[in-house]
Amino acid sequence: MTPVCFYHFEEWGVRLLCPISMASMRMDDIMIQSNGCGRAGIENRIVPDSFFGLSVSPACRVHDIMYQQALERARRHKDQARLTAEEHFADGIMACNLVQIINNHSGNRFMRWLRLRIASRYIRATSVTDVLTVLPEPVLVAMGYDTATAALEDMTC
């Protein structure tokens, strides 16, 4: 697994769990290599970067960096099982960071509860998306879908 640490990002005003390699990155490089919440393209416009006015984009950016590093290692080692394990680890880190941001920046108990509910749905959606995108085509066909995109559209709430 990727070694992680808590690091305070001055620019974002938050302390997050992140890969040790990310803690030493310049903020400009982080911003270039990550896009916040949602994948690139249309999904980036649809998926919100905030929950009721609270920006959660830093947690998503850590998640993006962790995914990129996992993909690079999986390509290097040609190991799909390792990639899947690292993706799950990245999802867990994102969950921790979302809770950290929400707990530290929600003074109102009702807003904290509401934001945590949204975060739990966001985390579940991220995990389901990850699983579907790595399933081999024969498994998707056996499930009755032509593509991972078709499966995702069917499972969207």
pLDDT exceeds cutoff 80 at 149: no
Q: Domain extents for the chain?
A: 4-155
Confidence at residue 34, expressed as pLDDT on a 0 to 100 scale: 92
- Calculate mean pLDDT across residues 99-117: 93
Rounded-to-integer distance, Cα 59 and Cα 65, Å: 10
Mean pLDDT of all residues belonging to the chain = 82
Query: Encoding tokens for residue 21?
Result: 């390699």
Confidence at residue 140, expressed as pLDDT on a 0 to 100 scale: 56
Cα 153 from chain centroid (whole Å): 19
Q: Give the predicted TM-score (pTM) of the model.
A: 0.78
Provide the pLDDT confidence category of residue 113 given band limits of 50, 70 and 90: very high
Place of tokens 């991972």: 148
DSSP secondary structure letter of residue 3 = -
What would the pLDDT profile of 41-100 be if each residue is shown by its tens digit?
666 667 788 999 999 999 999 999 998 998 888 888 887 777 778 888 888 899 999 999
Alpha-helix runs per DSSP H in the chain: 20-23, 27-33, 42-46, 57-77, 80-105, 109-134, 137-142, 148-155
